[in-house]
Amino acid sequence: REAVVGAMAVAAAASLAAAPAGPPKPEDLLDGVIALVPRSAVGAGLRRARDMLDYKDAGTVAAVLGNGRRTSAHDTVPFALWSAARSLGDFEEAFWVTAQAGGDVDTTCAIVGGVVAAGTAGAPPA
């Protein structure tokens, strides 16, 4: 169930990031995702991620939200969407912020990359 909710959350985030009006504000992105996912551990993590948008240190945020070390959606998706929300306009920054938290970096960066690339930041620089 949590894996399905995690997939829903990532799809919702990518869709919201791709809005024709341009990327939403970080809080609007997470609020939009939270409104679209059912009550779950992933949803609870997303609410915590929303509350932590003003934190600048990815390591601190990952310590609270998780960074994928437990290879579960509720330990991966909230942090990845926190990172994506904070860096929607900057593909490279999104990856560096995400990677510096460690954990399951290939998974968290894949999620972040998909969401950020869906928005106006587009594909990574050549």
- CA atoms of 93 and 124, how far apart (whole Å): 11
Environment class of 93 (CB within 10 Å of its CB; exposed 0-12, middle 13-18, buried 19+): middle
To the question of whether residue 106 is assigned a binding role by annotation, the answer is: yes
Helix (H) or strand (E) holding 99: helix 91-99
Q: Name residue, tokens 């690339």.
A: 117
To the question of whether residue 104 is assigned a binding role by annotation, the answer is: yes
SS (H, E, C) 33-86: HHHHCCCCHHHHHHHHHHHCCCCCCHHHHHHHHCCCCCCCHHHCHHHHHHHHHH
Binding residues for Mg(2+): 104, 106-107
Binding residues: 104, 106-107
